[in-house]
A and B are shown apart, each in its own frame.
Chain A
């Protein structure tokens, strides 16, 4: 037995002892995972020693044979041996795979974040379309309420009262102060596709048809009339001054003036689409909502307003 084998056995024994010492047999030996780990450690020690001994022996005994190639680098040369067959096959296959991966396989067109987003959105929209196509009545109101709670509540509030003047009170169609503001300052929201703005007080004739502008008293009277739900005193002023555009019943005329007697779907959807600027302030448009959601909000607003 020569020195190499002796050294190998000593090293193996030392490593096994180190493994034994470092492993807590008292607590760990019952666990199957620990048993596998310790077995693996033993196998690893033996395999390492075996491989090292093999190659050291080979270095000691092997002699180089074969024909040298003509090149050499500072005395270091290469044998002109044939390429091992197995290696050559794998090499060729790797080249072919590499070409495939470079030209076809690389997932540059296979995935994009935006593409996934578009697909997700399409799937969702299709599903939404299918599921809620024929939603009407209470279901639509319920849907409108959920949209309201997620989008409108920040300004119009949980009770739809507009949080103390933050936004318009949706429980009523129009508050008196809002009506007065519109009559005095006019209104130019281009709702309902109309390009014709409502004129300010100088452009509104008074009810007596004598070509004089509307008076303060009349403004006050007609504002109360509209705010009271088209009832009480002031009907004559409304009929003389407002009815031409807003209709005799205040329900508005198509492409001319909006409904001021009650909320209707066309009006609510219009405001959601375009936003508006009025007595209370500016409402931004909410065009992230889809068509059905807008209809639903309109239904909900109609359901809560008196």
Chain B
């Protein structure tokens, strides 16, 4: 019955490939798509948070800090709920990390505050006596790069359809809209408005002065980013 197949080995090989590939696709793709869909309560990064993420990457925070809480009792006791793949839907790239020299940061926004980060980034040993983390003093004076963050926002919005300016469902049933500027100027003013909220909880006079002048130091952006990790 199938001798005609055996007489056309190339066609046969193509057929076998198609059957196996199709079977693979229908078993793998739906669950993969399901798992990578954003979890309810996961929101896109705002301009300032995204700029903070760039600071995080620039300073290689991910070399010492992971962002993945594994499903073990010892980890969930310390960091909160274990991580789900959908929580990384807006992370490009995700910053899971592979080594924990410092603690995991995936839910650091739940149990650390702006003020704590401010003091800790200036001098970690003042708060955690045995800490081997260095201070990141230059973040208090370096200006953050909003332009690049905005460029990334435009890219991921148009290419990946990240829902900026659209309602995103939250855990309590409400929706939240993460704004993205239509122009670079608008993006800058949105970032500055958010930076003012963060800086209101900070003590450093130099940072406050810079914000008042319309400049955003890196520390404000990275704190906004860390506060968004929940």
Contact = CB atoms under 8 A, between A and B. Distances in A.
Contacts, number: 53
Interface residues of A, number: 24
B6 A73 contact: yes
Contact of A163 (B6, B73, B80, B126): B126
Interface of B: 3, 6-7, 71-73, 76-78, 80, 82, 110-116, 119, 126-129, 201
A150 B112 CA distance: 14
Contacts of A111: none
A166 B115 contact: yes
Which of B72, B73, B78 has its CB near the most chain A CB atoms (within 10 A)? B73
Interface in A205-257: none
A284 B201 CA distance: 14
B116 A166 contact: yes
A166 B201 contact: no
Contacts of B129: 158
A148 B44 CA distance: 34
29 contacts: A73-B6, A114-B71, A117-B73, A117-B82, A120-B72, A121-B76, A124-B73, A150-B78, A151-B111, A154-B112, A154-B128, A155-B113, A155-B127, A158-B129, A163-B126, A166-B115, A166-B119, A281-B113, A281-B115, A282-B113, A282-B114, A282-B115, A282-B201, A284-B111, A286-B111, A288-B76, A288-B77, A288-B78, A288-B80
Given A117-B71, A117-B73, A150-B78, 12 more contacts: A71-B3, A117-B82, A121-B76, A124-B73, A163-B126, A166-B119, A281-B114, A281-B115, A282-B113, A284-B110, A284-B111, A284-B113
Nearest to B202: A281
Given A163-B127, A282-B113, A286-B111, A117 B72 contact: yes
A65 interface: no
Contacts of A284: 110-113
Contacts of A163: 126-127
